[in-house]
C-alpha cells in the first residue's frame, strides 16, 4: 500500500477555504485516494474518494493531478465544526486493509 | 445510512481480566475490522474478517483474538487484559466492491485497563 505524507497540523479561520495536500509518490495504477475526517472521541468518517482529476460532493472537493502523486482536499468556507483530523489514504480498497497515517489536525478559529 | 454500533463507549477493566468488545453493523457488509488508536500512533489494524468464521491478522494481533459467528457481528477479545491495551478501539465495516470500498466506523470504545 502506498505511503502518504501530509502536514501534521494546519490553522484556519472561519469562512476561509482550506486546502490540505497529501503526497503519495508510490501510488499504484489501481489505487484510489480516499479522505476521512475524525472528530475527537469518534470514529473516522468517509469524506470523499477519487481516482483522477476532480471530484466534488456536498462536503468537499478532491483535486488529483495527472501524475496522481499528490492530491488536495479542499474544504470551502470552513466553520468551527470542521475542526478535526483529516486522513489521506491510498490503496486498492479491495478487501479493506487501510493504512492510516498521522493525519492533519485542522484547527478552525473564530 | 450505514450504522456500526459498539457495545460500550467506555470500559474499565483490571489487569488479567478477559474483555469482550462487541461490534454490530446493519448493512450486510462482508468485511469487518478492529483497529486501536493511540496518540502519536494513529489507527492500527488488529484483525479483520472477510466473511463469517473467517479472520485475518492485521498489523498488531498479539494479545487479541476475534470471533465472527454471524455476518453482522464481529467481536474482539482480550484474553488477559494488560495495561498496554488501554486504548480507543474502533470497529469498521465495508462491502467488497470494485475498487471503491469505503469503511464505515463505529463510535469507538475507550478501554482503560488498571
B1 falls in which pLDDT band (50, 70, 90)?
A: low
Q: Determine whether the interchain pair B43/A102 forms a contact, defined as Cβ–Cβ distance below 8 Å.
A: no
Q: Determine whether the interchain pair A42/B108 forms a contact, defined as Cβ–Cβ distance below 8 Å.
A: yes
Residues of A in contact with B35 (CB under 8 A): 100
Residues of A in contact with B105 (CB under 8 A): 42-45
Q: What are the respective helix, strand and coil percentages of chain B, to the nearest 5? A: 5, 55, 45
CA distance B35 to B107: 12
Q: Which positions 77-96 of A are in contact with B (Cβ < 8 Å)?
A: 92-96
- Please give, rounded to a whole number of angstroms, the shortest distance from the CA of A106 to a CA of chain B: 15
What is the average pLDDT value for chain B, to the nearest integer?
91
Instruction: Please tell me the least confidently modeled range out of A105-109, B21-25, B97-101.
Output: B97-101
Count of CB atoms within 10 A of residue B47's CB?
23
Q: For the residues of A55-105, what is the DSSP string, one character each?
A: EE-SS-EEEE-TT-SEEEEEESS--GGG-EEEEEEEE--SS--------EE
Q: What is the pLDDT tens value at each position of chain A, 110 positions in all?
A: 568 899 999 999 999 999 999 999 988 888 889 999 999 888 999 999 999 999 999 999 999 999 999 999 999 999 999 999 999 988 765 555 677 778 999 999 99
Question: Which pairing describes strands B42-49 and B56-57: parallel, antiparallel, or unpaired?
Answer: antiparallel
Residues of A in contact with B46 (CB under 8 A): none
Q: pLDDT tens across B33-85, in order?
A: 999 999 888 889 999 998 999 999 998 999 999 999 999 999 999 999 999 99
B15 falls in which pLDDT band (50, 70, 90)?
A: very high
Query: Among residues B35, B110, B66, which one has the least CA distance to residue A36?
Result: B35
Tell me: pLDDT of B100 over 80.
no
- The four Cα atoms B41, B42, B48, B50 give a dihedral, to 10 degrees, of -150
CA distance A110 to B97: 41
Counted residue by residue, chain B has a size of 114
Amino acid at each position: 500500500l502506498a505511503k502518504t505524507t501530509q502536514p501534521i497540523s494546519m490553522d484556519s479561520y472561519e469562512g476561509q477555504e482550506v486546502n490540505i495536500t497529501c503526497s503519495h509518490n508510490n501510488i499504484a495504477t489501481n489505487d484510489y485516494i480516499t479522505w476521512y475526517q475524525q472528530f475527537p472521541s469518534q470514529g473516522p468518517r468517509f469524506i470523499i474518494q477519487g481516482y483522477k482529476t476532480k471530484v466534488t460532493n456536498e462536503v468537499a472537493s478532491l483535486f488529483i493531478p495527472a501524475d496522481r502523486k499528490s492530491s488536495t482536499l479542499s474544504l470551502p468556507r470552513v466553520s468551527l465544526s470542521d475542526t478535526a483530523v483529516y486522513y489521506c489514504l491510498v490503496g486498492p480498497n479491495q478487501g479493506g486493509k487501510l493504512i492510516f497515517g498521522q493525519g492533519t489536525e485542522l484547527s478552525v478559529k473564530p | 445510512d450505514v450504522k456500526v454500533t459498539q457495545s460500550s463507549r467506555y470500559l474499565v477493566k483490571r489487569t488479567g481480566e478477559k474483555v469482550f468488545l462487541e461490534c454490530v453493523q446493519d448493512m450486510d457488509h462482508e468485511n469487518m475490522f478492529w483497529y486501536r488508536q493511540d496518540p502519536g500512533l494513529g489507527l492500527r489494524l488488529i484483525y479483520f474478517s472477510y466473511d463469517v468464521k473467517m479472520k485475518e491478522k492485521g498489523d498488531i494481533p498479539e494479545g487479541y483474538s476475534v470471533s465472527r459467528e454471524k455476518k453482522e457481528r464481529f467481536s474482539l477479545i482480550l484474553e488477559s487484559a494488560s495495561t498496554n491495551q488501554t486504548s480507543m478501539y474502533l470497529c469498521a465495516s465495508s462491502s467488497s466492491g470494485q475498487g471503491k470500498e469505503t469503511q464505515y466506523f463505529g463510535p469507538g470504545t475507550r478501554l482503560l485497563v488498571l
